[in-house]
Amino acid sequence: MVEIKTFGSSSKGNCYLLTEGGSSLLIEAGVNPSKLKIPWSQVDGILLTHEHQDHGKYINQVLKRCGANVASTSGTLDALDVPDHRRVEVDNDDTLSFLTGNEWEAWHIEVFDVEHDAVDPVGFVITTPSGEVILFATDTYYIKYRFSYVNIAMIECNYDLVRLEQRFQLGHIDKRQYSRILRSHFALDHVIKFFNANNSWQGNLEEVHLLHLSDRNSDAEYFRQEIAKVTGVPVYIAGEGEA
C-alpha cells in the first residue's frame, strides 16, 4: 500500500511524497529540500502542477539532490527555468511513466487541465506500481472531468464560502484578494459537489486527503466532517500531525 507524506500544504509551501516499496514519487517543490528527510536516491519521478512559488520555488535545488526528472507542462517548466535535460514536458490528456528500480514496475500518470491563475496548471491521476489509483488536484476552483475509478483522493479544499464572505464584509480581506480566491481555489461546497458527481467511486474510494486549507478561511475539523459525510471514508487533513 502506498504511503503518503506531507511536507507542506499551504500558501507557505507545498510538497508531498508518495512511497511504495523502495520507490517514491515527489509532487510539488515548494518547500526547501534542506528541511526534508527524504531518501533522495529512491525518488524515481517528480511532478509539478504549476509554477507558483509555493509549489515550484525549490525545484532546481531538488534536482541537485536526486537523479529523477520532473514532469509538467512546458509553460510551468519554462517559468521555473528547469534545464532541458531534466524535464519531461506533458500536455493535457497525456500519459507518462516513471520506472522504479524494477523494470517491470512503474508509476503511471495521466494529466488533466485545471482552472487556476497560472500559465498552464494541471492535475494528475497516478497509478502506483501495485495498481492503487490516486487523484491529485490542487489550486483549482473547478474540475470539469469525471473519473471512473479512484482509491485515494488528494484534493484541495481551500475555503468555506460563508467564512470568506464574512471576512470580506468585515473588511478583513480586500476585493482583489476576495475575487482571486473565488477564481483560483476550491471551495468546500464545490469539493462536495465534485464528490457527489463522482459517486461511481463508491466501494473503491478508501481515503481522502484535503490539501491547501486556507489559514483564515477554513475550519479543518468542519471540513473533515463534511467530506466524511459525503464520501463515507476516512478523511485526513494534509500535514496534520506530520513533520
Where residue 107 sits, what CATH number does that domain have? 3.60.15.10
Query: What would the mean pLDDT of 151-159 be, rounded to a whole number?
Result: 95
Euclidean distance between CA atoms 164 and 181, whole angstroms: 9
163 secondary structure, DSSP code: H
Question: Please, what's the b/e burial string for 128-159 (b: 16 or more CB within 10 A of its CB; e: otherwise)?
Answer: bbeebbbbbbbbbbebeeebeebbbbbbbbbb
Q: Assess if residue 97 is contained within a domain.
A: yes
Beta carbons of 157 and 112 less than 8 angstroms apart:
no
Q: Assess if residue 8 is contained within a domain.
A: yes
pTM above 0.85, yes or no: yes
Mean pLDDT of the chain: 92
Q: What is the dihedral of CA 118, 122, 123, 129, to 10 degrees?
A: -130
Q: Which of 209, 243, 204 is nearest to 224 (CA)?
A: 209
CA angle at 160 for the pair 58 and 177, rounded to the nearest 5°: 60
Q: Which of 113, 99, 123 is nearest to 28 (CA)?
A: 123
Q: How many domains does the chain have?
A: 1
Q: Assess if residue 10 is contained within a domain.
A: yes
Q: Assess if residue 57 is contained within a domain.
A: yes
Asked if the model's pLDDT at residue 48 lies above 50, the reply is yes
Q: Assess if residue 48 is contained within a domain.
A: yes
- pLDDT one-digit tens code per residue, 202-231: 789 999 999 999 888 889 999 999 999 999
Asked if the model's pLDDT at residue 182 lies above 90, the reply is no
Range of the domain at 61: 3-237
Q: Assess if residue 242 is contained within a domain.
A: no
Q: Assess if residue 243 is contained within a domain.
A: no
